[in-house]
Structure 1
Amino acid sequence: MIVFIALIIIWAVVLKRNIVEAALISMIILPFFGGVEAGPGLLVGSLEYVLNYEVLYASLAFIVMSFLLQHSHVLDGMLHIFTRLFGRLKGGPAYVNTGLSSVLGCMSGGNTPNAATSGAFTAEWLLRSGWTREQAATLIAANGGLGAGFPPCAGLFIVLGFPTVAGFVSEGQLYIALFVTGLYQVVWRIVYIQYVVHKNHLQPTSSGSTETIGEVLRKYGINLTLFLGAIIPVALTMGPLFDALVARSEAWESAMDSVNLLVWLPTLMICIILILDGKNIVKQFSGWEDFVKKFIPHIANTGGLLFFIFAASNTITKLGLGDDVVAVLDQMNLSPIITLIVVYVLVAVVAGPLSSTATLTAVGVVGHAVLVGVGFDPLTTAAALLMISSTEGASPPASGALFVACGLTECDPPKIYLPLIGWFVAPIVVMGCLVAVGILPVP
């Protein structure tokens, strides 16, 4: 495990190579820790596992959905709605940025693209309304982290492959738990917005749509039907509707149990996007060759990373990492709470130089095994782990979202290091600890 972590960090930070390459090498090397003779069999077994792993399909489907969304006008319609609803409030552009970042987080799951997209719409608006360059850059960078703070981020699929998660936590459970922790993060951002509003004595801005809410909804409200792609699968897998259908008969119960949230959610969303704006999406490409050229780079990194990480995680499970971790912890005799704090602080620190996916790949699998080994719940610790790894967007010095935000606001990056740590990294680590111990509840 030490070799696995060292390889990821050295490859990504020291050699500055692609994290996918490190994951590929790990997938090949790890099986041979079970012995030279057993190595090939473990490697083949891990590949068979990945090729039959439905979560891999779901993760690739979300990447397709994100790509189509970027080439559609659906997000533009949502922006018009947010602008009309929040644009004239005190701190209106900040609420628009936060709302748009949350929606993008639920759709695409990328921190830096999230900051770039939401910041492009709201950076100048924030500055004109009275936010300082440092305050605006801090908010945009922090909101970029919502890309990994809401499902379906790539980290969600990585965590689902952890040995101490797979088989103990369902895809739907972790999806809903991460969504709830994302809402906790949004609430904290509202606290920050209110702080800046009162500190700077901000007044409502005159920017935004002059149309009535009814007119805006008539023009752009159809775009909100995209959320049906999430609402329908969730309703069919948990809650009152699920309970009512299951109670009808054994056949209904079997049918409802076969509905996989992570499979149907992106599938329905892709269908809705194509129905809403399929003609425009087709016009974005000159032909199939152009589509493939633009799509392959979009899917290669994340898709390759997830494939190799799932295979490596399966190998780690077969090598008995969980039992080894428990044995080491028994010898150390640390307090569970101290262990929790140490693991989550380590995750936040590693998220500085690494992306959230690399952080989860490097230390997440071991950290989660440690926490489960000392008695914490696999679901809450996994949700909190994802929550804390999302601080990548606000973690100096190597956050892509940070530099995008500073570029959009013409702010000197070092000036927002301390505000980001004090207002977002540290509080989110605290919130993660509260989620893990059950003080902040998740379903």
Structure 2
Amino acid sequence: MVGVWALVAFVGVIIVWNAVFKRNIGEAMILGFVAVCGFAFVTDGAGAWSSIGEAVLDSMQEEVTFAGLAFVFMSYVLTRTPVLDKLIDLLNSVLGRLRGGPVFTATVAGGIFGAIAHVGAAVTAAVGSVTVPWMKRSGVRPELAATVVAGGAGMGVSFPFSATMFILVGGLAAQGVMQPDEIVAPLAFAGLWCLGYRLVLAFFLVRRNGIQPISAEDRIPFGLSLRSGWTSLLLFVPILIPLLLTRGPVAEALGTYSGVGDALKKPVELADGTVLAAQPYAMPDVISLITWIPVLMIALVLFLGRRHLPKTVSGWWSTIGKAAPSFGVIGITIVAAFSASNVLGDLGLASQLEGVLAGLDAPAWIMAIAIGVIIVAIAIPLTASATMAAVGPVAVVALIGAGVPAPVAAAAVLIFASTEGASPPSGAPIYVAAGIARVDPVKTFVPLLKYYCLPILAMGVFIATGLLPV
């Protein structure tokens, strides 16, 4: 159980250093990683150096690391130009008369984009690029804006047809537990329950925080705002282009023309030994939303705001220097989080928690709570897909043994795993949202746990026990 204790130490050190000693999250994440490394040395001695080195190298090559820093830069450059101000004026002309208009827009957009893109960090990036600055302009505190957007990231898993879903049902189908198409309807209804909860939460947050409509005198008439700021609508283009190239008929035609589907991925081996057959590559495998959205966004902002940006090398050097403190905190935090995740994987965290799952024997409601807590704990350092590959099938089988129908059990387990984006301190969407909002990520930790992580865990339990029909 070394991996389990290492996870406990990782989270414990971060909480103590950040909450008790009031130090910044970057330092806390580094110390948490060092604590995990200590367990690696105890287990493997000097051989741990190789594992730790590979873990750090892999974390620095993660696309989320790049995306987090890219969005910090994009957000900073946007504030130096009037481009986003014009877009927000236009949005306020349409929805500014509603209390919490941008909060509700962010929530619904998260559900829509999640049902299409299915990648938590990409959902946060696409939705947050516009709605976070809009919320801030409307009087929403930056940490609350980041919380709302990061909290919606899990909808990429809670709707069909994510890669996470296919990893889970592929393992279950290989074992003869259920057929892949059996989960589509239950998971769709489960996703709608989660979206409904988020809308109720948005209503509560708007009232609790006293978010008011934009006053009439501050709202520019729609016609005037459209004439003066129509070019700001181009900010949606960097989101739509990668989306069109990876989903739908354009993506299919491009994949056929380029021969992307002719190559096969490596087979996926689950923790229980089940091997899923190799699948052909698809366009989302070669065009990354989380990479290309910020790249295209930065390029467009540089073009649209060129008259308001520095014209000299020294001017740009000064601009980048002013954004440097945000780069440091976000970058160190992401690298430390992913490095710790990799080392925890090498310590056998997934297989150890799988053994705990296999040994559970209790009534359905107790099983649902126990399995939910374990999956949420695994999803703290791992992605939802990795969590499902590690323990997904055995978690479903355990729920089936307690009397839960297989499709319902599978939907509940995916809802548990969807907390990855709202699970501090390692959820990648947290740092993407914090980068866009230019806020200390730690300020979102407690709200994310309180408003998203624990309630979604409860919803998974309710779905498993039949209190929420799917």
Bin the TM-score by the shorter chain: 0.5 to 0.7
What is the aligned partner in structure 1 of residue 95 from structure 2?
86
Distance 1:401 1:43, change over 3 A: closer
- Alignment map for 1:320-335 (pairs within 5 Å): 320-334=348-362
Shift of 1:292: 3.6
Distance 1:343 1:323, change over 3 A: closer
What is the aligned partner in structure 1 of residue 226 from structure 2?
217
- 1:187 to 2:193 alignment: no
Shift of 1:34: 2.8
Shift of 1:372: 6.8
What is the aligned partner in structure 2 of residue 386 from structure 1?
421
What is the aligned partner in structure 2 of residue 146 from structure 1?
148
Which of 241, 249, 254 aligns to 1:240? It is: 249
Distance 1:10 1:61, change over 3 A: same
Please identify, of 221-230 and 287-296, the stretch whose mean Cα deviation from structure 2 is larger: 287-296
What is the aligned partner in structure 1 of residue 29 from structure 2?
23
Mapped partners of 1:291, 1:109: distance in 2: 23
Deviations 1:260-316 (CA, angstroms, capped at 9, x unpaired): 222111111111111111332338997344324311101111110111111111111
Deviations 1:24-59 (CA, angstroms, capped at 9, x unpaired): 233332431432222212112212323433332233
What's the TM-score, normalizing by structure 1? 0.63
- 1:374 to 2:390 alignment: no
Count of matched residue positions in the alignment of Structure 1 and Structure 2: 366
Shift of 1:230: 1.2
Distance 1:300 1:379, change over 3 A: farther
Does the aligned pair in 2 maintain the 1:50–1:311 contact within 8 Å?
Answer: yes
What is the aligned partner in structure 2 of residue 118 from structure 1?
135
Which of 280, 289, 296 aligns to 1:261? It is: 289
Mapped partners of 1:195, 1:248: distance in 2: 52
Deviations 1:116-167 (CA, angstroms, capped at 9, x unpaired): 97355347xxxxxxxxxxxxx9xx986552132356x9xx9xxxxxxx98x9
Mapped partners of 1:238, 1:57: distance in 2: 23
Distance 1:301 1:144, change over 3 A: closer
Which of 297, 308, 314 aligns to 2:342? It is: 314
- Alignment map for 1:63-78 (pairs within 5 Å): 63-78=72-87
Shift of 1:428: 5.4
Distance 1:263 1:309, change over 3 A: same
Mapped partners of 1:13, 1:94: distance in 2: 30
- Alignment map for 1:88-103 (pairs within 5 Å): 88=97, 92-96=98-102, 98-99=104-105
Structure 2 residue runs of 5 or longer lacking an equivalent are 1-5, 111-122, 157-162, 169-187, 264-281, 397-409, 434-440
Mapped partners of 1:283, 1:435: distance in 2: 57
What is the aligned partner in structure 2 of residue 161 from structure 1?
none
What's the TM-score, normalizing by structure 2? 0.60
What is the aligned partner in structure 2 of residue 46 from structure 1?
55
Give RMSD over aligned pairs: 5.2
Mapped partners of 2:423, 2:19: distance in 1: 20
**SS class of match (2:76):** helix
Shift of 1:61: 2.0
Distance 1:373 1:4, change over 3 A: farther
What is the aligned partner in structure 1 of residue 298 from structure 2?
270
Deviations 1:144-196 (CA, angstroms, capped at 9, x unpaired): 52132356x9xx9xxxxxxx98x969xxxxxxx9x999965663356559999
Please identify, of 185-194 and 44-53, the stretch whose mean Cα deviation from structure 2 is larger: 185-194
Please identify, of 265-274 and 16-25, the stretch whose mean Cα deviation from structure 2 is larger: 16-25
Distance 1:293 1:334, change over 3 A: farther
User: Percent same amino acid among aligned pairs?
Assistant: 24
Structure 1 residue runs of 5 or longer lacking an equivalent are 124-136, 157-163, 170-176, 197-201, 351-358, 404-416
